[in-house]
Amino acid sequence: MSVGKYPIAAFAVFLVALTIVMFADAESSVDPDYTGVVSDISESTNGYIFYITTYQEKMRCYSSQCPVDHGYYGITGSFSSDGSIFFVKTMRLLEG
């Protein structure tokens, strides 16, 4: 008994779609290191410097992506060696 080419093609499309959904959900489910409101955005030669105000502090941050002024974001990343700036690895606009 021969299997037609259409069921095989449909199954391949299904697998690709499932893979895309799985990876998209994995990135969005990462818990942010900090959440807060963005302000004072300025453009540098390689990205954007801004402040994010959390419920405890106001942090100076750097990102290659431009955030929305007064947007509420979740960010992950790490501080510089002297702790003066937070280098953003991922930044996601959260619904307030």
pLDDT value at position 95?
78
pLDDT value at position 6?
72
Encode pLDDT of 13-44 as tens digits: 666 666 665 555 545 567 889 999 999 999 99
Encode pLDDT of 40-80 as tens digits: 999 999 999 999 999 899 999 999 999 999 999 999 999 99
Decide if 75 contacts 61 (C-beta within 8 A).
Answer: yes
Contacting residues for 84 by C-beta, under 8 A, at least 6 apart: 60
Residue 92 has pLDDT above 80, yes or no: yes
- From CA 47, how far away is CA 52, in angstroms rounded? 16
